[in-house]
Amino acid sequence: MQLLREVGLHTGQELLMMRLWESGPQRQVDLATEFDTDSASMTRTVQRLERAGYVRRVPDPDDRRATRVEPTPASLALRRQVERIWTELERLTVGEMTAEQQRDAIGVLDRIEGNLLGSSTAD
Asked if 80 and 100 count as a contact pair (C-beta separation under 8 A), the reply is no
Please, what are the domains in the chain?
2-96 (1.10.10.10)
pLDDT tens track for 62-87: 888 889 999 999 998 899 999 998 88
**What mean pLDDT comes out for the span 36-40?**
92
**Residue 71 CA, distance from chain mean position:** 13
pLDDT tens track for 110-120: 999 889 888 65
Q: Which residues contact 45 (CB under 8 A, 6 or more apart)?
A: 12, 13, 16, 37
